[in-house]
Amino acid sequence: MTQDATDRSETDRLREEVAEARHHLLTVQDHIVGLEAENGRLNRDLTRVTMELRQQIKRSRRMTQQRDEARARLAELRSRLAVARARLAEVEQPRASVARRVARRVRGALR
Amino acid sequence: MSPKRRREPRFSIVTPVYDPPVDVLKECIESVIAQDFEDWELIMVDDFSQNAAVPTVIAQYAQQDPRITLIERDTNGHIVAASNDGVDAAVGEFIALLDHDDLLVPDALSKVADAIDEHEDVDYVYTDEDKVGEDGSTYGAFHKPDWSPERLRGQMYTSHLSVLRTSLVREVGSFREGFEGSQDHDLVLRVTEKARRIVHVPEVLYHWRAVAGSTAVDIEAKPYAETSGIRAVQEHLDRLGIDATAGPGAEPGRYSVQRRLDPSRRVSLVIPTMGQSSLVRGVRRALVVEAVRSALARTDHADVEVVVVHDTPTPDAVLAELREVAGDRLVLVPFERPFNFSEKINVGVCHSSGDRVVFLNDDVEAISQGWLEQLVAPLDEPDVGLTGAKLYFSDQTVQHAGHAYYNAGYHHPFKFWTRDEVGPFGELVVNREVTGVTAACAAMRRDTFFGIGGFSETLPGNFNDVDLCYKVRATGLRTLFIANSELYHFESRTREARVQEWERLAVVSRWGVPDEDAFTPRAVAMPNLRRVQQLPDDLFA
């Protein structure tokens, strides 16, 4: 092999090595860019989910408060209902006639 | 003019008026009075209307509402002079342009104000628009792209409603005489060259009156506008130092921008192949050979390197033909690993020497003369990261005119439209920003390619171009669809197209699920989807 051919072969070998190194750099760079992108996407998701969580927690608090208020109102209404029912029952209870009550009182006085 | 302003309003609505039908003029004024945002002034400049009722009507409104001002010109000076009188009189922070027969929707100004309030440096706002017919019905909604400077060179797409910072309008010299018919395009080109922030409000806030003789009905109604428009675009290109010539486009109102590629740029075509043959229009051809032959034949650029990354089974005869076609411009790179498109392109770029790289499938055929120059030259603009060509199937229907990512998917809008169609709003004939382009024919600067890590080799077959486009976008660079770089793409003649779910998930894991496309909204890309969404609920009951 002549010196010229040897040099050319060495040049080709080095050129191939440079290309391989470049290729390796590319794949590593893609990996980094991909990780950065995934981190960015996860952070965006995190922000979105956190906001959604906050909203849901707020909503949950509001609903719980509304539920408690409704429960209290229901209890109060139930209590008023019981009183009203008792009163109604009392009012609706059959009473002795005037003649009978007079007779009962007279009998009592005679005892 | 009545001196009655109490303080600077937020918006000065400038309306040049010349002989509109009085009822239409009244509707226009009423649409401003009906705004749910009160901090405005309406400056109506009567350009010496022949109908004396026109200034009388405006004067009556001005008497009733101190926010309305009438300026009466003594001569008919045409739209530029009249508009400039309005600009001179404006005291608002922003100027909103309203034609004398058009309508604002009631929350137009409040929506624009909301957009302005989000950032301190907003200099220009534009909104979506539709048309309103003589019977008052609206139609033809134009859902516009987000800020798209390349598209503005090809068409005045921002149009109505345009709201510009008053100080900037004055700084650039307001409307210019001699640009009648395209005076708004010329102004917006000059304003956007200096604007710090441009905001698109993706809602229809303006109804453009469609009456006989108006541009809304017939784009050829003002033939003088085209000459002015071409001149406006050319001067804009010159101001920016873009080496290109503006000319008439595929239809009135569209402009072509023919760039010149620096002859000293070395361009490397990187073509992966297995050396397959296929029948094209009844003739068997070695696809890669014809791809290279047509690519070289239809460019005048001299410094082109052809890097062919070929799998081991590639027939010797094909390689011999390639040597014959490309001569000493050919670099053959053998590839012995299993099929991986991304890896083959990456390997090819690593063996290339050009500072511009063009990815080219082996099943393409260049059609347009200068396809390479038009594809590569925009990369001289530092904020352009990627360009993609317009591709057709062999029957001349569109295969690719830019990607759009929406509705949890990656789409090719306008697929199967015919070659002579211009698209709903000129999308097929105007160079424009897109979210992505296919890697079947795309170009990048070498430094950008290495900066983003090239194609992801974890995606060997599908969506590697989608991932690449996302990467380009993540660096803040623009991706352009180049309508005047045309090729055939005999798609999937060399490989069976099959998408695996994991490929989609790999892209989603990096970039998330796409919802709405910034440049080709789904309402434009897939109008049928919009129609389904608009169907009444009881239809499905």
For B264-321, write each residue's pLDDT tens digit: 999 999 999 999 888 888 889 899 999 999 999 999 999 999 999 999 889 999 999 9
Contact B351 A19 (CB under 8 A): yes
Q: How far apart are CA B139 and CA B130, in angstroms?
A: 6
Lowest mean pLDDT among A47-61, A93-107, B182-196, B284-298: A93-107
Contact A45 B457 (CB under 8 A): no
Same structural domain, B326 and B471: yes
Residue scoring higher pLDDT (B282 or B59): B59
The residue among A20, A25, A26, A32 with the most chain B CBs within 10 A of its CB, best to mutate, is A26
Q: How far apart are CA B379 and CA B302, in angstroms?
A: 18
Same structural domain, B308 and B432: yes
Q: Which of B368, B394, B377, B366 is nearest to B292 (CA)?
A: B366
Q: Does B254 reside within a domain?
A: no
Q: A29-60 burial, b if ≥16 CB within 10 A, otherwise e?
A: bbeebbeebeeebeeeeeeeeeeeeeeeeeee
Q: Does B258 reside within a domain?
A: no
Same structural domain, B243 and B309: no
Residues in chain A within 8 Å Cβ distance of B471: 33, 37
Highest mean pLDDT among A81-95, B467-481, B483-497, B518-532: B467-481
Chain B nearest C-alpha distance from A58 (Å): 25
ipTM value, please give it.
Answer: 0.76
Contact B347 A23 (CB under 8 A): yes
Chain B's closest residue to A27, CA to CA, is: B453
Note whether B248 and B182 are within 8 A (CB): no
B456 → closest Cβ in A19, A30, A45: A30
pLDDT tens per residue, range B153-202? 999 999 999 999 999 999 999 999 999 889 999 999 999 999 999 999 99
- pLDDT at position B535: 57
CATH number of the structural domain spanning residue B99: 3.90.550.10
The residue among A30, A44, A45, A49 with the most chain B CBs within 10 A of its CB, best to mutate, is A30
Same structural domain, B293 and B422: yes
Residues in chain A within 8 Å Cβ distance of B474: 33, 36-37, 40
Same structural domain, B461 and B519: yes
- pLDDT at position B2: 44
Residue scoring higher pLDDT (A9 or B85): B85
Residues in chain A within 8 Å Cβ distance of B509: 38, 41
Q: Does B439 reside within a domain?
A: yes
Peptide bond into B161 cis (omega under 30): yes
Chosen domain end from B222, B249, B276? B249
Contact B452 A33 (CB under 8 A): yes
Residues in chain B within 8 Å Cβ distance of A22: 350, 450
Chosen domain end from B221, B249, B277? B249
Same structural domain, B355 and B229: no
Contact A45 B509 (CB under 8 A): no
Q: Does B1 reside within a domain?
A: no
Chain A's closest residue to B342, CA to CA, is: A27
Contact A38 B455 (CB under 8 A): no
Q: Are strands B364-366 and B277-280 parallel, antiparallel or unpaired?
A: unpaired
Same structural domain, B29 and B155: yes
Domain extent, residue B189, equals 11-249
What is the total count of domains within chain A?
Answer: 1
Segment B217-229 shows an average pLDDT of 74
pLDDT tens per residue, range B102-161? 999 999 999 999 999 999 899 999 999 999 988 888 999 999 999 999 999 999 999 999
Q: Has residue B531 got a pLDDT over 50? A: no
Q: Does B23 reside within a domain?
A: yes
Q: Has residue B4 got a pLDDT over 70? A: no
Same structural domain, B305 and B219: no
Same structural domain, B470 and B387: yes
Chosen domain end from B223, B249, B275? B249
Q: Does B256 reside within a domain?
A: no
Q: Give the mean pLDDT of chain B.
A: 91
Asked if the C-beta of B470 comes within 8 angstroms of chain A's C-beta atoms, the answer is yes
The amino acid occupying position B255 is: Y
What is the total count of domains within chain B?
Answer: 2
Q: Does B463 reside within a domain?
A: yes
CA B444 to chain centre: 19
Chain B nearest C-alpha distance from A37 (Å): 5
Domain extent, residue A66, equals 3-110
Same structural domain, B146 and B291: no
pLDDT tens per residue, range B448-499? 999 999 999 999 989 999 999 999 999 999 999 999 999 999 976 545 567 8
Segment B50-76 shows an average pLDDT of 92
Contact B346 A26 (CB under 8 A): yes
Q: Looking at chain A from residue 9 to 68, which residues have their Cβ under 8 Å from any Cβ of chain B? A: 19-20, 22-23, 25-34, 36-38, 40-41, 44-45
Lowest mean pLDDT among A88-97, B182-191, B339-348: A88-97
Confidence of residue B530 (pLDDT cuts 50, 70, 90): very low
Same structural domain, B398 and B465: yes
- pLDDT at position B282: 84
Asked if the C-beta of A81 comes within 8 angstroms of chain B's C-beta atoms, the answer is no
Same structural domain, B416 and B379: yes
- pLDDT at position B279: 87
Note whether B271 and B319 are within 8 A (CB): no
Contact A23 B509 (CB under 8 A): no
Q: Does B6 reside within a domain?
A: no
Q: How many CA atoms lie within 13 A of B276 on its CB side?
A: 15
Q: Has residue A3 got a pLDDT over 90? A: no
Q: How far apart are CA B452 and CA A27, in angstroms?
A: 10
Asked if the C-beta of B505 comes within 8 angstroms of chain A's C-beta atoms, the answer is no
Lowest mean pLDDT among A16-30, B210-224, B280-294: B210-224
